[in-house]
Structure 1
Amino acid sequence: MQVSVSIGQNHHFALREALLIYRSMEQNGSFGNTFITHHEVNADNRAKQPTLGPAKTLTIEFVQSLVQALGGRVQAEFLPESVIARTERLIAWWTPPQKRPMFFGTTQGDMAGMNGAIFPQPALVWLAMDHSLSIRALKENRRPAADTKLCVAPYWNVYDTGSVCLGSMRAPDASTVASIPQWEQSFYESEFTHGNVGRLTRHPGGFEGLWRELAGEEEFPIDSLIELPETVAEFLSGKRRGHDH
C-alpha cells in the first residue's frame, strides 16, 4: 500500500498521524455526541499496510497547530467595542439603531417602489462565519451580554435560525474586523425579495406594513419585534432554536 505522496518536485508527504472521529447516532437518525482520538501511524514501507498506534488525548495545542498548518492563523487585530466574539472561523458584532437605505425585489408584494428610501433600523447582532451571515435583533440599545435574549431580525431573506439567504448579496470573502463594514453594506444594499419564515414582526401589516410605515421615520418601533428564548451565547454557539409564529 502506497502511504506517501509527492506533489510537484519540492514536496514529499508521508503518512504519520491519524484522527479517528466517533459519533453517536440519535433516534431521529441525526448525529449526537462526537469525540476524536489521535494516533501515530506506523507507515514503514516494508509493512503491507499502515497500522495505528495507541490512542492519545487530542490536545488544544495539537488542534491549533493543525489549523495554523492549514492556513487558518488569525492575524492580530485591534478589536473595536462593537465586536462581541472572535474565533478562527467567525466574528460577531452588534450595531446600535441607525438609519439605512433599503432595496426590495418583487418576488413577494410590491415594495420595489420604495427602493432607496431611508429606514430606521433596530439594534442588531451580526455573525459572519465561513462566508455566511446570520443576524438577530435586540430590544435594548446597548452592547449585549452572553445571556441577553434576542429577537427575530425583521427582514425578508432571513431564515428562522437567523441565517441570511445571500441571494444578490456580495458577501466578503473574510470574517475579520476589516470586513465588518462590507458585511453591513452588502446586507443593506442587497434586495429583500422574499419571506423565509411565517412571521417576522408583530406589526399587523407584517413585513410590508412595517417597512412602509417606517420610510423616512426617525426610530424603529421596538414593540414590533418578536422576542425569542434564544440568548446571544446560544446564537454564537450554533445552538439556535426555531420560533413559533
Structure 2
Amino acid sequence: MLSTAVSKYELETRSRTNSIQSKVALVLHSVATSNKKQQVITMHNIDDNQLSKGKVINSKQVTRMVSGKGGYFDRAQSAKPLCSSLIDERVIAENDNDVVFYTPPSKRTLWYSTTKNTNFSILSPGLFFHFKKSTKSIRVFCYLNRKKPKLDTMLYLPPMLNIDRKGSLCTGTMRLPKTWSNAGIDLIISNFFDSRFTHSNMKTASGIPTIYTDDEANMAYMAALEESERKMKAGELVEFKTIAAYLENADD
C-alpha cells in the first residue's frame, strides 16, 4: 500500500573470512513535529549497495526481525504497509500510485460561478486530499480540529460544490501535477481554491442536507459563514469515515 521514501545511501559490507551480503537495512530517524521530537524506524531493501525506498516499521517488528522469526524478511519485503511519510509533514501516506495529504484550517476565498460569478471569504476547515498519480483524480474531505489530523480524526464531506458523496472532485480545468513531487501538494491546494465552484454533484443524494444538494442553499450557507466569520460545525456536515478507516479501504 503506502510507503515512505528517503535519500539513498551507498553501503559496503566486507568481512575478512566470510562473504556477507546485506539485504535489508534499518534506519533510525529523529522527526521533529510542532509539539515534540519522535523517533521513527524505516526498513530498506539494499539493491546494488544502495538503500531503496523505505517502509516505516514499529519496535515489535524490529524485535521479530532480530529474533530470527522464519520468513519475516520475505514477507516484509513483499508487504507494502500504509505508513506516515518523512518527506513532507503534510503527507499522511503514500505509495507508487497514491498520495494522501492535508492542509490545515485557514481563511480562504471560494470562487463561485453558478447563476452568477461571486466569491466567499470563509474560515475553511482543514482539508484532506487523496491524489491518484496515474489517473490524476482527487478525493477531498474536511476535518474540524485545528491540530494535525490523526488516524482517529473524523472526515466529513466538504459542503462545497463540485464534490460528490464519495469525496470525488470534478477537477474541470484545474492544473494537476504531470509527475509527482512535493511541489504537487501546493499545486493541488492552490488550484483547488483558485478554481471555480460551479455545480452540486449531490443533487440526487437522499438524506443529505440542502447545503450539499442545492446550489442556492449552498451559496446562502457560504454567505452566512462569511458574514458571521464563524467556523463550520459538525452538526451541519455529513460524517464520512475516520482517517484510519478511509486508509484501510481508500479505493472504495
- Greater shift after overlay, 143-152 or 156-165? 143-152
TM score, norm. by length of structure 2: 0.56
TM score, norm. by length of structure 1: 0.57
Per-residue CA distance 1:98-137 (angstroms, 9 max, x = gap): 112221122xxx352x23x422211111111131111111
**Structure-to-structure mapping, 1:123-202, within 5 angstroms:** 123-130=126-133, 131-197=136-202, 198=205, 199=208
- Greater shift after overlay, 213-222 or 201-210? 201-210
Supply the distance in 2 between the matched residues of 1:170 and 1:200 (Cα, whole angstroms): 30
Over the matched positions of the two proteins, sequence identity in percent amounts to: 25
User: What letter corresponds to residue 124 of structure 1 in structure 2?
Assistant: L
Supply the distance in 2 between the matched residues of 1:140 and 1:172 (Cα, whole angstroms): 28
- Asked whether the 8 Å contact 2:151–2:242 carries over to 1, the reply is yes
Give the secondary structure class of the aligned counterpart of 2:190: helix
2:91 to 61, 83, 93: 83
1:222 to 211, 221, 233: 233
User: What letter corresponds to residue 224 of structure 2 in structure 1?
Assistant: E
**What is the match of residue 123 of structure 2?**
120
**Structure-to-structure mapping, 1:2-151, within 5 angstroms:** 61=77, 79-106=87-114, 110-112=115-117, 114-115=118-119, 117-130=120-133, 131-151=136-156
> How many residues were matched structurally?
167
- Asked whether the 8 Å contact 1:172–1:182 carries over to 2, the reply is yes
Supply the distance in 2 between the matched residues of 1:142 and 1:100 (Cα, whole angstroms): 18
Structure number, greater radius of gyration: 1
Decide whether aligned partners of structure 1 residues 153 and 201 sit closer, same or farther in structure 2, where only a CA change above 3 A counts.
farther
Give the secondary structure class of the aligned counterpart of 1:126: strand
Gap runs ≥5 in structure 2: 1-73
Give the secondary structure class of the aligned counterpart of 1:215: helix
CA drift of 1:152 comes to 0.9
- Greater shift after overlay, 198-207 or 230-239? 198-207
1:211 to 199, 222, 234: 222
Gap runs ≥5 in structure 1: 1-57, 65-76
Supply the distance in 1 between the matched residues of 2:183 and 2:196 (Cα, whole angstroms): 23
